[in-house]
């Protein structure tokens, strides 16, 4: 009986190890397949953005790049290929392109090692709209100044500056809690260079923040007007607002260079999402950064706390 029990135990262990090895191999194969397919989603976005650059006009939500790719079975893309095998697992692909300049760029807060007072006021107004404590704006501005300014230069005197953040999630390094980052995620972004906010794609909260003296009602009027006719230049925005406001061309514009490309692959019971920041340099679409992670089905496809498109 002892020998039988020992043999049964060894057999069970071997079966479990084999099952475990199969599960690991299946997961790795699924991840590799999903990664390969998500690279195709980035290529799809690059083609659309390159074609859009030919028009050389304003960027707005009525253009093809702003239409998300609804989730579809991968087999529908391969239907014309009679050599494609139908024996593989069922996969679903979706994607979206978001204008990164529809949000306020935190890079604008610091210039030559100093916090720009006017830009700090913009961030404070955004914090108010997001329901975030007013001291968060000053904390972010000081932390980003110290992170981006070498010790001994500018007005930053921090001998141990924080590591420069590259994503919004990394703002936690500056002492900002995750709940605050999530609230601000709908309105701010971190880009490599100073940029303007695209009035054709930004939510009303961002527009109201970057135009001095403009309230949410006035910003909503701009949002409603652009659904009929996108703004081609700031003069069109000025005519909609009237002569009571002064528009700053260093803060507001009608075109964009930076975009966030999101792709999601659902394969069996696994889901993988890839998010890439790209810069449009003329007709060239240059990837600047890429994140890949497992996501939930209720996660917004484009950007953290994806802002509503109006």
pTM of the full predicted structure? 0.79
| Distant-in-sequence, close-in-space partners of 305: CB < 8 Å, separation ≥ 6 | 182, 183, 185, 186
As a whole number, mean pLDDT of residues 7-31 equals 72
**Residues 61-70: tens digit of each pLDDT:** 999 999 988 8
Give the pLDDT confidence score for residue 242 in this predicted structure.
83
Domain spans of the chain, in order of start: 35-96+261-310, 104-184, 196-256
Does residue 309 register a pLDDT over 50? no
CATH number among 3.10.350, 3.30.750, 2.40.50, 3.30.1300, domain 35-96+261-310: 3.30.1300
**Residues 103-120: tens digit of each pLDDT:** 999 999 999 889 999 999
Give the pLDDT confidence score for residue 255 in this predicted structure.
94
Going by pLDDT thresholds of 50, 70 and 90, the confidence category of residue 23 is low
Give the pLDDT confidence score for residue 35 in this predicted structure.
64
Q: What string of DSSP letters covers 35-65?
A: HHHHHHHHHHHHHHHHHHHHH-S---TTSGG
C-alpha span between 128 and 97 (Å, rounded)? 28
| Distant-in-sequence, close-in-space partners of 2: CB < 8 Å, separation ≥ 6 | none
In DSSP terms, which residues pair with 278 in a beta bridge? 259, 287
**Residues 141-190: tens digit of each pLDDT:** 999 999 988 765 555 556 777 888 988 999 999 989 999 999 999 999 99
Give the pLDDT confidence score for residue 138 in this predicted structure.
93
């Amino acid at each position: 009986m002892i020998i039988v029990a020992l043999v049964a135990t060894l057999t069970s262990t071997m079966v479990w190890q084999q099952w475990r090895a199969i599960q690991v191999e299946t997961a790795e194969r699924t991840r590799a397949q999903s990664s390969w397919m998500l690279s195709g989603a980035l290529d799809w976005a690059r083609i659309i953005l390159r074609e859009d650059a030919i028009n050389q006009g304003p960027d707005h939500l009525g253009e093809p790049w702003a239409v998300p790719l609804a989730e579809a079975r991968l087999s529908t893309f391969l239907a014309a290929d009679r050599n494609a095998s139908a024996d593989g697992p069922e996969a679903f692909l979706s994607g979206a392109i978001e204008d990164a300049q529809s949000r306020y760029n935190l890079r604008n807060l610091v210039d030559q090692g100093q916090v720009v007072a006017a830009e700090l006021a913009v961030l404070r107004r955004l914090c108010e709209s997001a329901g975030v404590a007013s001291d968060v704006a000053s904390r972010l501005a000081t932390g980003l100044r110290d992170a981006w300014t070498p010790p001994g230069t500018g007005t930053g005197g921090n001998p141990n500056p924080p590591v420069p953040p590259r994503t919004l999630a990394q703002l936690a390094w500056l002492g900002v809690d995750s709940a605050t980052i999530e609230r601000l995620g709908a309105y701010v972004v971190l880009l490599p260079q100073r940029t303007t906010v695209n009035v054709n794609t930004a939510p009303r909260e961002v527009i109201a923040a970057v135009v001095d003296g403009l309230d949410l009602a006035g910003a909503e009027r701009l949002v409603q007007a652009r659904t009929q006719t996108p703004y081609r230049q700031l003069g069109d925005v000025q005519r909609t607002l009237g002569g009571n406001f002064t528009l700053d061309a260093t803060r507001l514009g009608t075109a964009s260079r930076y975009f966030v490309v999101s792709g999601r692959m659902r394969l069996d019971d696994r889901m993988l999402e890839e998010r890439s920041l790209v810069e449009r340099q003329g007709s060239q679409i240059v990837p600047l950064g890429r994140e890949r992670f497992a996501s939930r089905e209720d996660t917004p496809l484009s950007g953290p706390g994806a802002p509503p498109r109006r």
